[in-house]
Amino acid sequence: MEFKEVVGRRRSIRFFEPDKPVEREKIQIILETARLASCAVNAQWLRAIVVERDKLPPEKLSQLKTPVAALTLDLAPVHIYFFVDLGVVNRIKGSRLKELVDAGALAPTHGWSHKFVDDFVYPQILEPMTRNREGYLAAACADAGGAVHNALLAAFDEGLGACLNTPNPMLTRQVFGVPEDWISLWVMLVGYPAESWEAGGQRPRPPFEELYFEGEYGTPFRRDAAVVEKLKAAKMIQAPAPLPGRREEIRGLAERLGLPE
């Protein structure tokens, strides 16, 4: 699928074929995509644990649920639990930056050398950053989140449906017995959609000009209608939800999957 169409077709899928298995290869592709995302100082905070729903003991499955992420966990045959490894920066101490120097990605033209990393970047920027817990958490989670969003697109490119949810923040670490310095981020629920791929249409967003500015706060970035038309033609901007017949579709899914209406 073309990139713009993948972006356009992605929407949170919440109805899955509960018993249709997902090919292991497709799960690997999702993880490979996350791994190639850009990452601040190439630290690689993101970790993932892939589980088949049916291999999770029922008590563990229920510990992972929240009131807004319960049925989706029951329906999706594969769950990918994402974590942020907060310990990584002080374990690697700038070594991945030095790898980038050796790879010719960070060049002397821009001031980079092993010495710059060892004498300045790690001790003066990175190590102090980890001591400001709140700022460090925000930076690491935002970074890992970007990688997960790339991976989410890969699921759709592979013809799957997916949705991100936040699993129970109190119990997820404990359920999987992860190291002390990992924190739970999100779960990606993955499977073949039981709903149509349109899933009722592209979901609402605030107006473009309310979100993006030009030059200064208060001056909206002008949205060119011709570009919008081009993106519609490329299937990135699609018909907005709710499409006609969505209520009937949900009723049919409820009946078929034995769900409350």
Q: Which positions touch ligand FMN (CB under 6 A)?
A: 11-12, 14, 68-69, 163-166, 186, 203
Closest distance between ligand FMN and the C-beta of residue 154, in Å?
15
Question: What is the rounded CA–CA span in Å between residue 80 and residue 160?
Answer: 14
* Secondary structure class of 194 (helix, strand, coil): coil
For ligand FMN, which is the closer residue by CB, 14 or 173? Answer: 14
Q: Please report how close the Cβ of residue 131 comes to ligand FMN at its closest, in angstroms.
A: 27
CB of residue 23 to ligand FMN, shortest distance in Å: 23
Smallest gap from residue 93 Cβ to ligand FMN (A): 30
Q: How far is the CB of 55 from ligand FMN (least distance, A)?
A: 22
220, 213 Cβ separation under 8 angstroms: yes
Nearer to ligand FMN, 121 or 185 (CB): 185
143 touches 137 (CB < 8 A): no
Minimum separation from the CB atom of position 152 to ligand FMN (A): 8
Contact predicate 12/163, CB 8 Å = yes
**166 φ, ψ (degrees, to nearest 5):** -100, 115
Output the CA torsion 72→75→77→79 (10° steps).
10
The smaller minimum CB distance to ligand FMN, of residues 43 and 163, is found at 163
Give whichever of 14 and 47 is closer to ligand FMN, judged by the CB atom.
14
| Cβ closest to ligand FMN, residue 114 vs residue 203 | 203
- Reference 183, options 136, 137, 130; nearest CA is 137
Which of 171, 138, 166, 168 is closest to 45 using CA atoms? 138
51/70 with CB nearer ligand FMN: 70
The span from the CA of 225 to the CA of 102, in Å, is 45
